[in-house]
A and B are shown apart, each in its own frame.
Chain A
């Protein structure tokens, strides 16, 4: 079985993001980029499934600019087998990405697609679900545990009320939540090996996908600054403030 893992290049989670002076978008010039953390978890899960003998090949795919190659190399260094860069300089949106991914799925015929539950840049939380709809496949989103058994995948999902376990008929879509696993760090020998692993370059047109943006961003704003804290003198004062000022009690 092949597993397909889409990985997105985003602003590094350790970088403090800044909005461009004209408020049009987040500043990306000279900002450190990295793989979306949830995608690292997705790659890790695919590798573990392969190590457990449940999969034969892991293909990683990124839809984005030339530099998304670095993100793919990181996934290859972690243990993915080959990579596809679908090159576009358009601002990608979940629907466009899902359309490209559908094309990749049609071409590669994977048994599973494991995505991150969301990308930390625009937090859309849509790509996996849209892809499931386009393919007409079952989906297990916000996965914190994945068990494969024959052509079934048991996925434990983190939902508001606690944990829910669903059984999916494969091929299926899984989106990874934070607690699914702890991704490994690539080692130097594996980084070197990754440089030699196959990386194909494609375009959205190769998959017949239209990735033109459908959404218009009107404004991007930084969160308002947090107010400085105050010291309370007693528990009674704290309770009073929680009740009467914060209104949370």
Chain B
């Protein structure tokens, strides 16, 4: 049945960013609709490792993480304050030390600098050889991405946001430089002057219909999953990020440990063999949603080898089937957030480049405020124009 809707603000997508936008807008006594192809967190958000920390060399990301984590911590049961330890070697020590100082003193987030020995006490099953410095956030941690996103959407609906699930926006209408509404996959239309596109990897194709070339691309990223029945938290009580071997790991419940890796590039690749293998990995996704979600044994092993030097105990656990999902990437690995030039009232949140879970709720909130006419200086650093 096709319908004609109208609203003050339309949020497209119910990943963590769209959920954040809808949640903020639900408190504003406005007529708000949220459209989602499937269900909340059905996209990359639901597959996210959802490690949440403030530690970023880029200040805008730290600030967004601060607000994002604040919002996430307010959701009962969704946030696990497991703590995040981010370790580095000599190569990046100076800059990481300065970053910790900045985050603590200027931004006022809870973080401290530790020596390798102190880091060992926190994670005794990780070998800290060559770790000269570690950023430690004892009240950060990881989130249940599915639960958090659905809770934000639930709250938004409870406060009056109309949620249209199982439907996609197929076309965005713009007349004389002003956004006027959208058409949905079931033929329904929504008349509105403000649209927030929080459609992640799907944004580029949607905007290209308007002749807009969003400067983002898609990558397939994969996770190894280790079987640690009853001992996951003993082996790895905190989230672990390793700047030296380009790898991270976190406990998932009591029986499982997740491991991710970002070979090549990075800050200090001390493991040349892994870095060269990186280029052989299958990262490419040409069409949003069209990629292999399962991963091969070789892919699992490639990831696990990043942890092997630091924790054979974890790296030698049983290997469960891993999984892959999509990153929406930009060339400088910072989000692309903007009001689309030539389409007043059309805002996009994309390109979150693998950081998007922790900062998602804050980006959603900021863009919602922007759509309501409040200038968002922080968001201006993410404009499309920086690539022009």
Contacts and interface: CB of A to CB of B under 8 A. Distances in A.
A76 B387 CA distance: 52
A152 B294 CA distance: 42
A187 B318 contact: yes
A188 interface: yes
B316 A12 contact: no
A189 B318 contact: no
Nearest to B317: A187
Contacts of A14: 294, 321
Interface in A28-49: 32
B87 interface: no
B315 A185 contact: no
Contacts of B317: 185, 187
B230 to A, nearest CB: 13
A185 B318 contact: yes
A12 B297 CA distance: 13
A187 B294 contact: no
B73 interface: no
Interface string A114-134: 000000000000000000000
Contacts of A12: 294
A212 interface: no
Interface string B298-313: 0001001100100000
Given A15-B294, A32-B294, A191-B297, A185 B316 contact: no
Nearest to A184: B318
Contact of B301 (A32, A184, A188): A188
Contact of A191 (B292, B308, B319, B321): B319
Interface string B194-229: 000000000000000000000000000000000100
B294 A185 contact: no
Contacts of B321: 14
Q: How large is the interface on A (under 10, 10 to 19, 20 to 34, 35 or more residues)?
A: 10 to 19
A188 B294 contact: no
B227 A188 contact: no
Nearest to B308: A188
Nearest to B323: A14
B320 interface: yes
B227 A185 contact: yes
B320 A188 contact: no
Interface string A167-206: 0000000000000000011111101000000000000000
A196 to B, nearest CB: 16
A236 B275 CA distance: 64
Given A12-B294, A15-B294, A32-B294, A187 B316 contact: yes
B294 to A, nearest CB: 5
Contacts of A32: 292, 294
B227 A189 contact: no
Contacts of B318: 184-187
Contacts of A191: 297, 301, 319
A189 B316 contact: yes
A185 B320 contact: yes
Contacts of A189: 316
A185 B321 CA distance: 9
A32 B308 CA distance: 27
Contacts of B320: 185
B269 to A, nearest CB: 21
Contacts of A184: 227, 318
A68 to B, nearest CB: 15
Contacts of B308: 188
A189 B308 CA distance: 11
B214 to A, nearest CB: 30
Nearest to B297: A191
Interface string A210-228: 0000000000000000000
A47 to B, nearest CB: 13
Interface in B269-300: 292, 294, 297
B143 to A, nearest CB: 25
A91 B315 CA distance: 39
A12 B316 CA distance: 24
B315 to A, nearest CB: 6
A191 B321 CA distance: 14
Nearest to B319: A185
Interface-central residue, B292, B297, B308, by most chain A CB under 10 Å: B297
B306 to A, nearest CB: 12
Nearest to B226: A185
Interface string B75-102: 0000000000000000000000000000
Nearest to B296: A32
A189 B304 CA distance: 11
Nearest to B320: A185
Interface of B: 227, 292, 294, 297, 301, 304-305, 308, 315-321
18 contacts: A12-B294, A14-B321, A15-B294, A32-B292, A185-B227, A185-B317, A185-B318, A185-B319, A185-B320, A186-B318, A187-B316, A187-B318, A187-B319, A188-B301, A188-B304, A188-B305, A188-B308, A188-B316
Given A184-B227, A185-B227, A191-B301, 9 more contacts: A185-B317, A186-B319, A187-B316, A187-B317, A188-B305, A188-B308, A188-B315, A188-B316, A191-B297
6 closest Cβ pairs, A-B complex: A185-B318, A185-B227, A187-B316, A32-B294, A187-B318, A185-B320
